[in-house]
Structures are given as C-alpha cells and as structure tokens.
Amino acid sequence: MNRTDLAGLIHNGENSGVEFKRDDVRPEHLAKEMAALLNLEGGYILLGVEDDGTVSGLVRGPQEAEGWVMETARTHLRPAAIPFWETLKWDDEKVVGIVSLPADAPDKPYKMKRGSAWMTQVRVGTTSRDATDEEEARLYMQSGRLSYDRRSVPGADFEDLDVRRLVNYFRDFRVQGTPEAEDRAPWERLLVNTEIMVEDRDRIVPSVAGLLLFGRQPNRFLPQAGISAVAYSGAIKDYDARERSTLRGPIVSLFAAGERDSHASPAATTVEPGVIEQAIGFVRRNTEASAWVDDGGQRHERPDYPLEAIRETIVNAVAHRDYTISVMDIELSIYVDRLEVISPGRLPNTVTVPKMKAGYRASRNELVKEILRDYRYIEATGLGIPRKIVQGMRDHNGTEPDLEEHEDRFLVRLWKAADPT
C-alpha cells in the first residue's frame, strides 16, 4: 500500500471493510475487529487513526506494534491468524500501522477471546458485534466445515418424521429393506447411518435435512421451510392477486408403492404432494397454454413455460437455499409476462452465475441434494440449469432466463414469450 491508497481509505472513513483503531487498546478489542473482518470479506485495520479519521500515529514503535498485532492474532483469535503487517509514514512524526486481513479466509467462523469464552464476531457496517446463532451457523456453512442440513434439531423426535415417506424412500427409491413401522430402535439405527437423524447429547434426533424432507410438520421446528406463492394479475406486485398460497409440508411427496419413473423426475402416482409438487401444481393452475393455427390450418399449443424448466427452478430453490435464514420463505411469483423464484441467501462459496450456466456442481445442502437425486429430481451431471432452464427456455420460446445474485437472495426469472401469430 502506498500513501495515496492510505489517504483514500482514511478519507472514505470506516466501513464494512475498514476499521480505525489506536494501538494502545486492549488485545481483545483488536481481536474483535480482526475476527469480524475475517468473517466477512477481509479488510484493513488502520492503527494510529482515530474514529473521526484524524491520524494520531502509532503509540508503540513499529516493531513493538507488529509484535503486539501478531501475538494478539495468535492468542486472542481462534483459529489463530497471520495478518499482513506494514507501516507507512504519514508525516515526519506519525506512522500508521496497517493490518491487512484476507478476503478468502478459509477457517470461518473466527472467534475472539473474551475472558474464558470464545465469541464469534460479525461485521455490520462500521460495527463489529457478537454473532447470533444463525449467523454463526452460516459462517460454519460457508467454510465447508459443517453442512447446516446435517445439524440436529434438538426439539424434534422420531415421531416428528413421517414413517410412510421413509418407507417409500428406502423401499421404492433406494430399493432396500426397512424395519417394521412401529420398530423404533432399528429405524433409528438406519436413519442415523443415513444422517436423516443424528446423535445429539445422548439423544437421537432428526437432522435439518431429515425434517425438511420427511417431517410431518417441518415448519413446527423450521419456520423457513416452505414456499410463499402468489399469482398476480399484472406485471407488478399487487394486492389484487389471482391466487395466494403458503406451501407447507415435507419437500418430497408420498408416492404410490412401487411406482417411480426411471428418467428425470418422479412421475409416479402422488398420494400426498410435497412442497415441490405443490409448487408445480400452483404454477400449472396459474399459467396457460397459447394456441394458434399455422398456415396449413394445423392447431398448435404451447404452455407458457416448459415443465422441465419449472421443475428445475423449484427444485434448485428448495435444494440450495440458505436455511440458516429463518425469517424468509422461498418466493414463487407468477406475473402476466414472467415467472420468478427467489431463494433466500447468496450463492454458496465459489459459485457464480457464469459457473452455474456452465454446469458447475456445488451444493450448500449436500444431504438434501443427495436425497433429491435419489428421487430423480436432480441430475448427477449437474447440468440441470444449462440444459433444462437456459437451453430449455431458448428452445421453448426463444427467451433468455435471468439468473441474478443479490445481497441476500438469488433470483431465477423465466420469461413468457409474446403470443404467437
């Protein structure tokens, strides 16, 4: 960093990636800022700069300040970190110490030592604070150290799972034997071995994935499980909607015994629809097929959107949304000219929209994804988005679907073509 860069950082003031600090604060105060920045996207701590941007300079000598910073990062952070340290002369008398923290720190969440406790920190604007349970879980998930869908749901029990769906899954989709429905102990062994249940403090309880997929009432424990669906009469959100529906229940349907499609998705007789099939049904009820007669007098019909693109869009939202965000449903919106599905949360680490369009395979909820693959909802190749959504819409009506990542959500937009003539 040169003096011009430093002056620019100071001029712009503190923000989510820049913190001003004196170097005579207690080590835990410095560790708090380091942990928060490491847990976000890295940044700079400028030592010897006051909160108002006045440069006061290092109190310690440059070498002593460096030793203090490194010792703090080693003993007051968990896991320990090694920041990049440099100093710049501000004027003839003042030196600024610059602590640089990487944007891609791999071992999130970082915690600072407070007394005998270790506290996870997050950065919100110019403020660093203790993380909530949800924020901490999200950091673990981002690091890849703990998949959220494999976590236990302590308040739940075996009775909160739908044994009928479990039998359906193991017998008809995995093609393996199952215990008797009332025989709890062997069921628990089977479900722990497949991570549908997990051991938690000497109890065996459902995992997040287990409840999402097979729970009797998943929303009792996971209020974010489900889809809010609205069909609007026009091209904007409006109170005057054709239909509003809150889709609840387990993700997967209960299918008739012994029936399954050997191709892309379950096409067996549905006994009780899960959230995916409920959403597909909602779209079918609220979209139309355009009809026209060609020059030869032959009648043609084309649905607004191809079924495979609808299914892939909904399945991806259910499989890959950020379930640590507990206050938001997936949103399914149908307008006169388009269909939109909004998933809470950013894309998982390393995933970008161009990579998705190229068929890049990555998952936030690995267990949910694997079980949906058993049901043939998800392709093993990872090419569902480029083939079924992108190319599928091009082939269907010549439109280009929109895939957009925003700060706290991911949106897929399918366009309805103009009426054929």
| Residue 389's CATH number | 3.30.565.60
pLDDT confidence of 263, banded at 50, 70, 90?
A: very low
Whether residue 133 sits in one domain with residue 160: no
Write down the pLDDT at residue 265.
Answer: 44
Higher pLDDT, 245 or 105: 245
Query: Residue 421 falls within a domain, yes or no?
Result: no
Work out the average pLDDT over 316-327. Answer: 88
Contact 339, 414 (CB under 8 A): yes
pLDDT confidence of 102, banded at 50, 70, 90?
A: confident
Whether residue 127 sits in one domain with residue 9: yes
pLDDT confidence of 260, banded at 50, 70, 90?
A: low
Whether residue 296 sits in one domain with residue 392: yes
Whether residue 245 sits in one domain with residue 174: no
Structure confidence by residue, pLDDT tens digits, 213-239: 999 999 999 999 999 999 999 999 988
Whether 66 has a pLDDT exceeding 50, the answer reads yes
Query: Residue 245 falls within a domain, yes or no?
Result: yes
Write down the pLDDT at residue 293.
Answer: 56
Whether residue 163 sits in one domain with residue 138: no
What SS3 class is residue 78?
strand
Write down the pLDDT at residue 419.
Answer: 61
Query: Residue 420 falls within a domain, yes or no?
Result: no
Query: Residue 243 falls within a domain, yes or no?
Result: yes
Q: How many whole angstroms separate alpha carbon 361 and alpha carbon 45?
A: 36
Containing structural domain, residue 140: 3-145
Query: Residue 59 falls within a domain, yes or no?
Result: yes
Cα angle value 403/331/244 (rounded, 5°): 135
CATH of the domain at 130: 3.30.950.30
Higher pLDDT, 358 or 371: 371
Whether residue 258 sits in one domain with residue 392: yes
Helix, strand counts (H, E) of the chain: 13, 20
Mean pLDDT over each residue of the chain, to the nearest integer: 89
pTM for this prediction: 0.69
Whether residue 237 sits in one domain with residue 214: no
Domain count, the chain: 3
Query: Residue 154 falls within a domain, yes or no?
Result: yes
- Domain end (from 145, 178, 208): 145
Q: How many whole angstroms separate alpha carbon 141 and alpha carbon 158?
A: 25
Write down the pLDDT at residue 196.
Answer: 97
Whether residue 287 sits in one domain with residue 248: yes
Structure confidence by residue, pLDDT tens digits, 24-37: 999 999 999 999 99
Whether residue 268 sits in one domain with residue 394: yes
Within 8 A by CB and 6+ apart from 6, the residues are: 46, 88, 90, 96, 98
Whether residue 366 sits in one domain with residue 238: yes
Cα angle value 364/368/373 (rounded, 5°): 110
Query: Residue 48 falls within a domain, yes or no?
Result: yes
Whether 267 has a pLDDT exceeding 60, the answer reads no
Structure confidence by residue, pLDDT tens digits, 342-352: 999 888 767 88
| Cα Rg, the chain, nearest whole Å | 26
Whether residue 164 sits in one domain with residue 51: no
Work out the average pLDDT over 181-202. Answer: 90
Whether 418 has a pLDDT exceeding 80, the answer reads no
Write down the pLDDT at residue 144.
Answer: 63
Write down the pLDDT at residue 301.
Answer: 80
Q: How many whole angstroms separate alpha carbon 195 and alpha carbon 191?
A: 6
Whether residue 272 sits in one domain with residue 362: yes
Work out the average pLDDT over 305-330. Answer: 92
Contacts 24+ apart (CB under 8 A), 383-389: 383/359, 384/312, 384/315, 384/316, 385/312, 385/316, 385/356, 385/357, 385/359, 386/356, 386/357, 386/358, 386/359, 388/308, 388/309, 388/311, 388/312, 389/309, 389/312, 389/313, 389/414
- Domain end (from 177, 204, 220): 220
Whether 211 has a pLDDT exceeding 50, the answer reads yes
Q: How many whole angstroms separate alpha carbon 90 and alpha carbon 99?
A: 16
Higher pLDDT, 124 or 106: 124
